[in-house]
Structure formats: C-alpha cells, structure tokens
Chain A
Amino acid sequence: MNRRVVITGLGVCAPNGVGLTDFTQSLLDGKSGIRHQPNLEKLGFGCQVAGEPLVKDNLIDNYFTPLERRGLNATGIVYGVIAGVDAWKDAGLEKNTSNEPFWDRGIIFGTGILGVDKFREAIHLIDEGSVRRLGSTSVIQTMASGISAYLGGLLGCGNQVTTNSAACTTGTEGIIMAYERISQGKAEIMLTGSCSDSGPYVWGGFDAMRILPRGYNDNPTKASRPMSATASGFIPGSGAGALVLESLESAQKRGVHIYAEVLGGEINSGGQMGEGSMTAPNSIAVQRCIRNAVSNAGVQLTDVDVINGHLTATAKDGLEIENWSKSLERKGEDFPYVNSFKGAVGHCLAAAGSIESVATVLQFKEKVVFKNVNCEDIHPEITSLISETRVPRETLSYAPRVIAKASFGFGDVNACVIFKAYLEE
C-alpha cells in the first residue's frame, strides 16, 4: 500500500506570531520574534536574548478549562495545545463529541523535554520532604508524551497517539513518521508537530556550552544571523508548530483545502563517526539523507526549486550549504532558492522542525519564498558555492513546486522531507 498524503491543516505558536495570520505576516515582512529576556540577564546568562511566543492569558482560556489551568506550569504544553488544536480546526476537523474514539485519526507530537518549570516545582517540594503536596498533575505535565496525551484527550483520537524525540530533528521526523503511517494505510488523519518549553532551564545548557552569541544582548533582533559572515551562534527559541496530514482520498472526500502534498522523506544518523559526533553532523550521512529523501519522493534532483535548511547561524552553515550542493549536484545559479527562518524565530530546538515546516508549507499558499533576515553579508564560504541570488534577502514572489526541508540534531541525527505544490487534478 502506498497512498498519497496531503497537508490539510496548519497551526503555529511561534516567537514571531501566534496563529497563522500573524505568523504569515511576520514571515512576509521578516519581523523578528527575538527579544531581550530580563530573567536571563538576572541569572547572569552570557546570551540574554531568546525567541519566546507571546501568549496572552485570555488566549489560554480558549484552549484550557479553569481546572486544566490550575497548576499548569508547562509552556510546551500550552504552545503545543494551541498549535495542535488550531491545526485541527484549520483542517475543518472537530473535537470528538461522540462516545467512540476516532479510530483512524492519530497524533505524533514530539518534544525534547516537557514541563521543566513544573519539574523544578516538584523537585523543590520533594527536597523539602513534601512529596504529598505535588498534586495530581505533576506526572502528566512532565512526562515527555504529556503533549500528545493532552491533545489525544482534547480531540478524542483513537489511532496511534505518541511523542517522538530526536533533538532538533524532532518536528521534521514526526512529519515523515505521520506520512508513513497514512501512506501504509494504518491511519487516515494524523496530527503531527512538536513543541519546546521556554526558559532558563531549557536554554541554560546551551549557554554553558558557549555556543550562543553574547554580543547582541542590547540588539536582539540582529542576534540570529543564518548564512551571514558575522554569524556567531544560534539564538535559543521555543514554541510549537503543527500540521494535519491526511490521505488524499480522505481530504477529497471531505472537500477541504489542500496546502501541499507530502511526497515522503528520509531519516538517518551519521553514527557519530567520521566528522560526526554527539554535537556535529557527519556530512556523508547528511548528503545520503537528502539524496534518499529526493529519491523516496519519486522526484529528480533538478525538481527541487526551494530549500528550507536547518541553518542555525553557527560556523557550520557553510558546510550545510556544501552538503546540499553536493547531494543535489547543483551549484551557482543552478542552486535552488534557500532560506532559514531562524533569523526571525531563533532555533526553537525540538519545535524547530515543525514551526519551520509550517512556514515552509505556507510558501505554497502565499506563492512566495520568505526572506532571510540578518544575512546582508552572506558568508564567503556560501557565495563560493552558490550564487547570492539564491539567498533571497527580500520576500520573493515565486510559486514553489518542490520544497526540501531538512533538520539536523544532536546525536548526529538527520531528517529531510519533500513537499510538493498540490494542483487540482
């Protein structure tokens, strides 16, 4: 069985926009969601800027009951539920009000670590000898699968409901996993996405590794500079993105809007061998992942006309472009358009793949290639491989046909998914 799979719903809770309307406008304009964080300054962080969604209190009331809000101290769950429920509604789907689970609808919603603030709360109580005061929600807010469990209950899904975790590839990996489940006929509709908590306890470890920029604390919107000669590290972010994947058959039967088709992809690892390590990618594996993704998708290397890279704004951006160039066997003017949204949202860690995939897919709808911000000065390593014209610094009016989106993560893990414009047949 090898069924066609399409995207029928999108939802997002991102540093530069909560909800599709604001998010799309921010991407068109290159508006940044990276801000100075007073709590990071107070705690003496080297990097005191980050991307955090601005979620209004009364917005949370639309998604959580007063009982659910009591003691809720897990930002990842808030972001994930907003993005997930929005994507569900955007696909024209309802919450399950019947007495029977939706057997053919499931959820793969990933995260890296969930409910860290709730966990901190619990640790303090336990260390004080007050374990009995934890209450009933300590487990469900801190278990990794808390996010898929919340969404599963809200929507009444009866197919697979799980959480995947593969560092910064999490969101992209989830899309491929959901695609495979539908393609194989095991489900009709899968909500897939990922979320990442905000705050010092998530971002601190990266600050300690001294891989975050320290020179932009007074200039947050300029701090994240993918593909720039002056890039000096990634800016941590948080949030959630969500996509509804559906069999073409089901989408046509329901008569809903189709954003794009998912042609497939590839997931692999470099085994932390060669130049690969816990924190650095093995280029052989990256190239293999991209090439296999294109081949699994049943398209030609020349068909890819837009790339959304991982491109975090570290010294490795040049190497990533080299890997794309080698695997697609294209360079100079012949290279696809390439963008990174991390200049505006930062690196949203486990949420990166899904937030960026939502943005990537919106390009089909808007018939544009969203601009790259903060790379007026493209790194010479990159311009030695591809033409400057391939790195749009202004939002470009262009209808993409085939977009390759990749994410790479700690543990030397890679994921690449191929999206195609859907044309009514």
Chain B
Amino acid sequence: MQDEEKYQKLKDIIKIYLPEDVAITDIEKDSHLMNNLNINSANLVDIVLDVEDAFDIRLENDDMDQMQTVNDAMAIIDAKLKEK
C-alpha cells in the first residue's frame, strides 16, 4: 500500500469524528487529533478500532497512547503492517 493511499484511508476514518467547526481540509499530516482537530478524547478509542478494521492490524495500549497526531498514526500503521 502506497503512503498516499494509507493517508487517504486514515483521513476517511478521521473525518467522521471532526466537530462541526473543523473541515476535512483542515486535516494535515502534523495535525494533533485532539488539540488541532478538536476531536473528543472519548472518540480516540473509536478511531483506533476503525484503524484496526481498515488496515487489518491490532493496536496495543502503548500504541494508542502514542497516537497523538496524524503522523503518529501513520507511523504506527506502517510499523504494524511491516510486522505482518
């Protein structure tokens, strides 16, 4: 899977959790999920579950704690895909 394809897939997951005042175009690679995109912290667990389903991987608690920005998420997904 190409990086761009992965990024698109991740954006599609994230967009549903954006509050009304944040647009899809506001998502950047270095966006912080909670601080920049204003995603409700309770929804981070839902994003993790969606990522697991979309990429057929499993994230552990440590991975979840490290997943602060879009880039973090990309890196974790990459690492997990390589392990497979």
Contact = CB atoms under 8 A, between A and B. Distances in A.
B43 interface: yes
A67 B49 contact: no
Interface residues of A, number: 8
Contacts of B42: 136
A391 to B, nearest CB: 52
A38 interface: no
Contacts of B16: 66-67, 70
A409 B31 CA distance: 54
B45 interface: yes
B17 A133 contact: no
Interface in A103-144: 133, 135-137
A135 B49 CA distance: 7
Contacts, number: 16
Contacts of A137: 46
A166 to B, nearest CB: 31
Interface in B1-54: 16-17, 42-43, 45-46, 49
Main secondary structure of the interface of B (DSSP, over half): helix
Contacts of A67: 16-17, 43
Interface string A261-290: 000000000000000000000000000000
Interface string A47-70: 000000000000000000011001
Nearest to B45: A136
Contacts of B45: 135-136
Nearest to B41: A136
Nearest to A71: B46
Contacts of A71: 46
A422 to B, nearest CB: 39
A71 B45 CA distance: 13
Contacts of A136: 42-43, 45-46
16 contacts: A66-B16, A67-B16, A67-B17, A67-B43, A70-B16, A70-B46, A71-B46, A133-B49, A135-B45, A135-B46, A135-B49, A136-B42, A136-B43, A136-B45, A136-B46, A137-B46
Given A133-B49, A136-B42, A137-B46, 11 more contacts: A66-B16, A67-B17, A67-B43, A70-B16, A70-B46, A71-B46, A135-B45, A135-B46, A135-B49, A136-B43, A136-B45
Q: Would you list the 7 A-B pairs with minimal beta carbon distance, nearest first? A: A136-B42, A136-B46, A136-B45, A135-B46, A67-B16, A136-B43, A135-B49
